[in-house]
Amino acid sequence: MTALDPTAGPPAAAQPAAAPPAVAPSPAAQAAAGAALRVRRLGIDTRQEAVVYLHRECPVCRSEGFEAQSRVHVRLDGASVTATLNVVTGDLVAPGEAGLSEVAWRRLGAEEGAQVVLSHPPPVGSLAHLRKKMAGGRLGPRAMEQVIGDVVRGLWSDMHLSAFVAACAGGGLDFDEVVSLSEAMVGVGERLSWGRPLVVDKHCVGGLLGNRTTPIVVAVAAAHGLTIPKTSSRAITSPAGTADVMETLAPVHLDLARIRQVVEREGGCVVWGGSVQLSPADDVLIRIERALDVDAPGQLVASVLSKKVAAGSTHVLIDIPQGPKAKVRDLEEAERLGRLFQGVGRMVGVHVDAVVTDGSAPVGRGFGPALEARDVVAVLMNEPDAPQDLRDRSLFLAGRVLELDPAVPRGEGLARARELLRDGRAWRKLQAICEAQGGLRAPPVAPLQHTVEAGHTGRVAELDNRMLGRVAKLAGAPTSPSAGLELHVRRGDVVGPGQPLFTVHAESKGELAYALEFAAAQADLVRLEERA
Amino acid sequence: MTALDPTAGPPAAAQPAAAPPAVAPSPAAQAAAGAALRVRRLGIDTRQEAVVYLHRECPVCRSEGFEAQSRVHVRLDGASVTATLNVVTGDLVAPGEAGLSEVAWRRLGAEEGAQVVLSHPPPVGSLAHLRKKMAGGRLGPRAMEQVIGDVVRGLWSDMHLSAFVAACAGGGLDFDEVVSLSEAMVGVGERLSWGRPLVVDKHCVGGLLGNRTTPIVVAVAAAHGLTIPKTSSRAITSPAGTADVMETLAPVHLDLARIRQVVEREGGCVVWGGSVQLSPADDVLIRIERALDVDAPGQLVASVLSKKVAAGSTHVLIDIPQGPKAKVRDLEEAERLGRLFQGVGRMVGVHVDAVVTDGSAPVGRGFGPALEARDVVAVLMNEPDAPQDLRDRSLFLAGRVLELDPAVPRGEGLARARELLRDGRAWRKLQAICEAQGGLRAPPVAPLQHTVEAGHTGRVAELDNRMLGRVAKLAGAPTSPSAGLELHVRRGDVVGPGQPLFTVHAESKGELAYALEFAAAQADLVRLEERA
């Protein structure tokens, strides 16, 4: 190289050894590959999207042309992540530092003071499929595999994921694509096999407050002799998820080997699905769908069935609650969804039975982990005042699950389920499952309880599901397992002044006050209609 | 209220005055409305998406059920923003503090130590339209207005925006929706009017490296007597935007009143569009489209025409470069896009002329603000070695712009443009415009320059546009205005050993070294084919 321009003179940069770069702090040799920065753990939870925080004056920002929201490749020894850049002014990070969000820190296996090298990320091939899908194209099985593979590797930003979910919603996925998506999601996770011809499962597509049928259905099915390895979720927006409820009765955080032992011994289990990575892609997509408040049929079916295939299920009962305020509003839509489940199930090798159930009102009496567990146990113990609606729903579903067994004739499942419940075998089975999972325990009772009474005579005209759930959460559910709300009335009951409407359960005075204060401000939490 | 449960005793919380809440630190009365936290400016640039950082132990997080990525309503006196929550562990923020990203800080008009109140955000009605669009529905003018209104108010998260862009891409917008979207975007910004029957503009849909025709076209059009108030952008991913180039010749950061003065006096201007908020919605959507690398025809047309309508233009020339590596790949696609521009233009009241031009190679000689300005001036000054391609493209476009004037017969614009260029009136007009904008200045010359020569004899077979642009950026463009890359060869040239290929211009030794090091590592930056 020679400087030909007379105004320049021989540039110092032409002899890099003699004059080290004045601006770029790293050796010039690192220029193409990126430059090293000291990592700092900022403790910021950005969910699955890795974020790196660089100072505006960071030389790497400038030399690489990075700007806020650029995608940046971060390497630490053998590990690497593709992260979204947040540019920082002030003293949060120094110009020579790279702040990392929690997921970036974890994926890199970083330690304080380690050096990372930043560079432009390698091209992400699967984003071409995203663009094709946005343009209205169809994705074949191979493209779907690449998409899901890169999603799980964290190469897509939340904005990419969001665009993908939107492009796939609303009939954006045809039948073959739902099958490909399901299979691609199975392909990136763990996959269990049980060495048995019949492994059953049940799944409810839409959350109904208090609808805690799972432990009862598992108990009945396992008591009958079926294999039913059930993985459940924790609460997301409700005061309790099935895993939270079950945890007040037994440990639910089991690894795969332990789950296998429990199921070998008792035929069933009810564990937290988060402890086994059955469908890591689904964990990502569900978070996006929740943020967008969208749950398109194709994605719902792929999400559920991919988890069932991964869990080694051969037969699945899908519960589709339908009602004016449920996820599925009308009957025709519910039946169409059921048929899609069955069709895709056939292609991915799972037999699906789908039932449409009443989704118009909350189920049971308690809302919160221990309170729901009490309802479950009351049903299983045949207590005379056990909530009838929970009992009826559970028996109906359990009957349909039993009919997945070729030995149980169609139409006889319900009677068989009723028998297993009535004679105590279902309750003994749940106790045995709890023991196998690490020990049966009594659901805790809240130290603080306060009952709200009716101020006047009236008929219970309306129970506000959403607000009742919110009171339970303000009282501490599900973090405080004994907290929640216990309902003493059903819609249509007639109450007089001083008669109890509901009891708030809490573990601390502050939370009790907080929940009661909020409840008092909600006029229609329990709406009493005065009679003429 | 009375506690009826015998296990509980009268709860202290029933007398809140006697026993203040132990967990929730704020008065219980604030429970329903949210709780107050001290703000802290974290200096994190999250672009247009407001982010609030709360400690995991923050009582508001717990009581309101906020979790990472929840949408949170933040109020400070009269102002409020809807922000995305990032949950923090460690000491970045204390449990009683709310950290704010830059945009949240700005929108709230916050000051250090101020108190904000957090609560669940009010429902965002326009998100129902997003869900409808995702489900494949059509949005009418009123729905489109609500969407764009809420987007501009910052009520949508980046994930919502991304889903909207994806749902509208790929034929997701029909003709009427493109019109509604354009009009909605005009409705939320400033709108200029010039009180003249003919106000012209030109716009190029896809960035070609070095394609700096705008100052020349404006000079010719204004010299002819047309009104052409041109707002331009700064570089986004390229080494220079038109505003960066123009800024090396004159100030470009003018407010509306100043722009008006310049245009009244000289008929035209070339200013930075970012200093006037003509289409704030477009600023948001373009950022998302860039992140997704998608630029669907409907959105492109709405984006461009909404800005032209807001700028008060009556006639617009659209330049659609078409080539294998350009944004628009084939001729049919280019012509379809041109027709869409014209059809939507008719509906929103702008006459559109669209031309398809050659987009197969970079234009001009210099890449970087001052280097491109030198090319522009060389063409305007009729220098014999001015880049011929830039001159030809500029004259062709200027001719078409002149033909927007009813006084110029179809087919005679080019000759008229050539005349205005040849006799120096165009150059005098650009000088006058620069003076009116605040003073003509000479583009700076880089203090450091280094020329790279051919190592052997060969024919220039390929110039890697993208990598040439990257070298210019590593050399400091556009932040350092004199920095960039100057090309000495064209495709097809035959060179011998020692003959100059390109010169890197820089303002600091580090950047020069950095750019040269990177250039040396790119085998095909200028690919020489040896002859057999």
At residue B531, the pLDDT reads 67
pLDDT, tens only, A39-90: 999 999 888 889 999 998 887 776 676 777 788 999 998 899 999 999 998 8
Domain B25-119, CATH: 2.40.40.20
- Encoded tokens for B364: 């001009």
- Return phi, psi of residue A22, to 5°: -85, -30
List, as one string, the DSSP characters of B482-509: T-EEEE---TT-EE-TT-EEEEEEESSH
Per-residue DSSP letter, A360 = S
- Judged by a CB distance cut-off of 8 A, whether residue B499 touches chain A is no
At residue B365, the pLDDT reads 95
- Judged by a CB distance cut-off of 8 A, whether residue B102 touches chain A is yes
Tell whether the model's pLDDT for residue B346 goes beyond 50: yes
Per-residue DSSP letter, B18 = T
Q: Are B472 and B239 in contact (CB under 8 A)?
A: yes
At residue B481, the pLDDT reads 95
Domain B127-187 CATH class label: mainly alpha
Residues of A in contact with B39 (CB under 8 A): none
Q: Are A165 and B163 in contact (CB under 8 A)?
A: yes
Q: Which of B26, B61, B63, B102 to mutate to test the interface with A (most CBs of A within 10 A)?
A: B63
| SS3 assignment, position A292 | helix
| Bridge partners, residue A45, by sequence | B87
For range A457-486, the mean pLDDT: 90
Local confidence band at A325 (pLDDT 50, 70, 90 cut-offs): low
The Cα of A236 is separated from the nearest Cα of chain B by a number of Å equal to 9
- Judged by a CB distance cut-off of 8 A, whether residue B22 touches chain A is yes
Tell whether the model's pLDDT for residue B348 goes beyond 80: yes
For range B448-456, the mean pLDDT: 94
Per-residue DSSP letter, A384 = T
Residue with more model confidence, A347 or B362? A347
Tell whether the model's pLDDT for residue A471 goes beyond 80: yes
- Judged by a CB distance cut-off of 8 A, whether residue B29 touches chain A is yes
Check CB contact under 8 Å for B474 and A63: yes
The pairing of beta strand A494-495 with beta strand A448-453:
unpaired
Check CB contact under 8 Å for B45 and A89: yes
Task: Please tell me the distance from the alpha carbon of residue A263 to that of residue B225, in angstroms, as a whole number.
Answer: 86
In chain A, residues 137-166 whose CB comes closer than 8 Å to chain B: 137, 157-160, 162-166
pLDDT, tens only, B479-512: 899 999 999 999 899 999 999 999 999 998 888 9
Task: Please tell me the distance from the alpha carbon of residue B144 to that of residue B23, in angstroms, as a whole number.
Answer: 44
Residue-level length of chain B: 532
- Judged by a CB distance cut-off of 8 A, whether residue B136 touches chain A is yes
What lies within 8 Å, CB to CB, of B56 at 6+ separation is A45, B87, B88, B89
Tell whether the model's pLDDT for residue A209 goes beyond 70: yes
Task: Please tell me the distance from the alpha carbon of residue B465 to that of residue B460, in angstroms, as a whole number.
Answer: 13
Local confidence band at A24 (pLDDT 50, 70, 90 cut-offs): very low
How many CA atoms, within 13 angstroms, populate the side-chain half-sphere of residue B482? 13
Tell whether the model's pLDDT for residue A359 goes beyond 90: no
pTM: 0.82
**If 0-12 CB within 10 Å is exposed, 13-18 middle and 19+ buried, where does residue A335 land?**
middle
- Return phi, psi of residue A394, to 5°: -65, -40
- In which residue are the tokens 């463009």 written? B477
Residue with more model confidence, B329 or B379? B379
Local confidence band at A3 (pLDDT 50, 70, 90 cut-offs): very low
For range B317-340, the mean pLDDT: 89
Peptide bond between residue B478 and the one before it cis (omega within 30 degrees of 0):
yes
For range B259-287, the mean pLDDT: 90
Q: Averaging pLDDT over each range in A166-180, A191-205, B162-176, B426-440, which range is the top one?
A: B426-440
Local confidence band at A531 (pLDDT 50, 70, 90 cut-offs): low
Local confidence band at B295 (pLDDT 50, 70, 90 cut-offs): confident
Q: Are B376 and B270 in contact (CB under 8 A)?
A: no
Closest CA to B505 of B374, B363, B360: B374
Q: Which of B61, B66, B86 to mutate to test the interface with A (most CBs of A within 10 A)?
A: B86
Closest CA to A373 of A484, A257, A296: A484
Helices A280-292, B127-134: inter-axial angle, 10-degree rounding: 130
Pick the range with the lowest mean pLDDT from A50-54, A140-144, B235-239. Answer: B235-239
For range B441-453, the mean pLDDT: 96
Facing B510 at nearest CB: one of A22, A136, A514:
A22
Pick the range with the lowest mean pLDDT from A515-524, B378-387, B429-438, B497-506. Answer: A515-524
Domain B200-279+291-437, CATH: 3.40.1030.10
| SS3 assignment, position B261 | helix
pLDDT, tens only, B469-479: 889 988 989 88
In chain A, residues 276-295 whose CB comes closer than 8 Å to chain B: 287-288, 291-294
pLDDT, tens only, A94-110: 988 999 999 999 999 99
Task: Please tell me the distance from the alpha carbon of residue A353 to that of residue B484, in angstroms, as a whole number.
Answer: 66
- Judged by a CB distance cut-off of 8 A, whether residue A120 touches chain B is no
Domain A448-529, CATH: 3.90.1170.30
Residues of A in contact with B521 (CB under 8 A): 32
For range B414-440, the mean pLDDT: 98
pLDDT, tens only, B46-69: 888 899 999 988 877 766 767 778
**Residues B245-256 as b or e (16 or more Cβ within 10 Å = b):** bbbbbbebebee
> Which ranges constitute the DSSP H helices of A65-193?
102-108, 127-134, 141-152, 158-168, 175-187
Residue with more model confidence, B208 or A262? A262
Residue with more model confidence, A226 or A330? A226
Residues of A in contact with B333 (CB under 8 A): none
Chain B residue with Cα closest to A61: B474
Q: What's the one-letter identity of residue A46?
A: T
Q: Where are chain B's structural domains?
A: 25-119, 127-187, 200-279+291-437, 448-529
**Is A423 assigned a catalytic role?**
no
- How many other CB atoms are found less than 10 A from the CB of residue B529? 11
What is the 3-class SS of B43-70, one letter each residue?
Answer: CEECCCCCEEEEECCCHHHHHHCCCCCC
- Judged by a CB distance cut-off of 8 A, whether residue A33 touches chain B is no
At residue B63, the pLDDT reads 67
Local confidence band at A20 (pLDDT 50, 70, 90 cut-offs): very low
At residue B181, the pLDDT reads 96
Residues of B in contact with A7 (CB under 8 A): 445, 447, 449
Candidate list B158, B295, B389, B464, residue with the active-site label: B295
Tell whether the model's pLDDT for residue A2 goes beyond 70: no
Task: Please tell me the distance from the alpha carbon of residue B393 to that of residue B363, in angstroms, as a whole number.
Answer: 9
Cα–Cα distances (Å) from B400 to A145, A517, B66, B217, B353, in that order, read 49, 71, 57, 10, 8
Pick the range with the lowest mean pLDDT from A209-223, A275-289, B208-222, B389-403. Answer: A275-289
Chain B residue with Cα closest to A70: B291
Pick the range with the lowest mean pLDDT from A125-129, B296-300, B359-363, B407-411. Answer: B359-363
- The percentage of residues in chain B with a pLDDT greater than 90, rounded to a whole number, is 64
Tell whether the model's pLDDT for residue B125 goes beyond 70: yes
Check CB contact under 8 Å for A159 and B89: no
At residue A99, the pLDDT reads 94
Closest CA to A403 of A344, A354, A340: A354
- In which residue are the tokens 């790119």 written? B522
Tell whether the model's pLDDT for residue A5 goes beyond 70: no
pLDDT, tens only, B59-102: 777 667 677 788 899 999 889 999 999 999 888 899 889 999 99
Peptide bond between residue A362 and the one before it cis (omega within 30 degrees of 0):
no
- Cα B117 from chain centroid? 34
**Residues A412-422 as b or e (16 or more Cβ within 10 Å = b):** ebbebbbebbe
At residue B35, the pLDDT reads 65
Tell whether the model's pLDDT for residue A13 goes beyond 70: no
Task: Please tell me the distance from the alpha carbon of residue A334 to that of residue A316, in angstroms, as a whole number.
Answer: 17
Task: Please tell me the distance from the alpha carbon of residue A40 to that of residue A53, in angstroms, as a whole number.
Answer: 9
Check CB contact under 8 Å for B166 and A163: yes
- Judged by a CB distance cut-off of 8 A, whether residue A526 touches chain B is no
Closest CA to B380 of B328, B421, B348: B421
- Judged by a CB distance cut-off of 8 A, whether residue A510 touches chain B is yes
- Judged by a CB distance cut-off of 8 A, whether residue A92 touches chain B is yes
- Encoded tokens for B212: 């700096």
Chain A residue with Cα closest to B450: A3
- Encoded tokens for B168: 């509208």
- CATH 3.40.1030.10 for domain A200-278+295-437, yes or no, is yes
Residue with more model confidence, A324 or A420? A420
| Bridge partners, residue A467, by sequence | none
Interface A–B counts its CB contacts (< 8 A) at 303
Give chain A's mean pLDDT: 88
What lies within 8 Å, CB to CB, of A79 at 6+ separation is A107, A108, A109
Tell whether the model's pLDDT for residue B22 goes beyond 90: no
Task: Please tell me the distance from the alpha carbon of residue A91 to that of residue A302, in angstroms, as a whole number.
Answer: 46
- How many other CB atoms are found less than 10 A from the CB of residue A332? 10
- CATH 2.60.40.10 for domain A22-119, yes or no, is no
At residue B524, the pLDDT reads 81
Q: Are B57 and B37 in contact (CB under 8 A)?
A: no
In chain A, residues 212-271 whose CB comes closer than 8 Å to chain B: 237
- Judged by a CB distance cut-off of 8 A, whether residue A385 touches chain B is no
Residue with more model confidence, A464 or B198? B198
In chain A, residues 426-455 whose CB comes closer than 8 Å to chain B: 445, 447-453
